[in-house]
Amino acid sequence: QQQVKQSPQSLIVQKGGISIINCAYENTAFDYFPWYQQFPGKGPALLIAIRPDVSEKKEGRFTISFNKSAKQFSLHIMDSQPGDSATYFCAAAAYGGATNKLIFGTGTLLAVQP
């Protein structure tokens, strides 16, 4: 019940296209859903996050869509650029609990071709 399932494992998109990464969770106590971007040899960098009281959040070219009833959320990268090539992780946390530990998905390796 603590798992966060992420798909696809890898994704190839043409420059200017839309990248879509999906995640699903089971634990209804989760109330915080961030996305992280990680380049090789670096730590994860927080991209964008959403709480379940909204269905969508947009920051620049990055959008999170959230479906509470389906327990799914997704990251959309509009106008994908080669510089977006990285590994993307979704995560979830139950901030009402004693520990705000993040449960991560398994990651999606995105390659944006020029």
Provide, rounded to whole angstroms, the least separation between the CB of residue 104 and other proteins.
3
Query: Is the CB of 69 or the CB of 99 nearer to other proteins?
Result: 99
Whole-number Å distance between alpha carbons of 51 and 57:
9
* Strand-pair partners of 109: 10, 87
Q: Is 29 in the site for other proteins (CB under 8 A)?
A: no
Whole-number Å distance between alpha carbons of 4 and 92:
7
Q: Is 78 in the site for other proteins (CB under 8 A)?
A: no
Q: From the list 45, 59, 68, 82, which residue makes contact with other proteins (rule: CB under 8 A)?
A: 45
DSSP state of 54: -
Whole-number Å distance between alpha carbons of 60 and 30:
25
Can you give the binding site for other proteins, defined by CB under 8 A? 6, 34, 36, 41-46, 49, 89, 91, 95-107
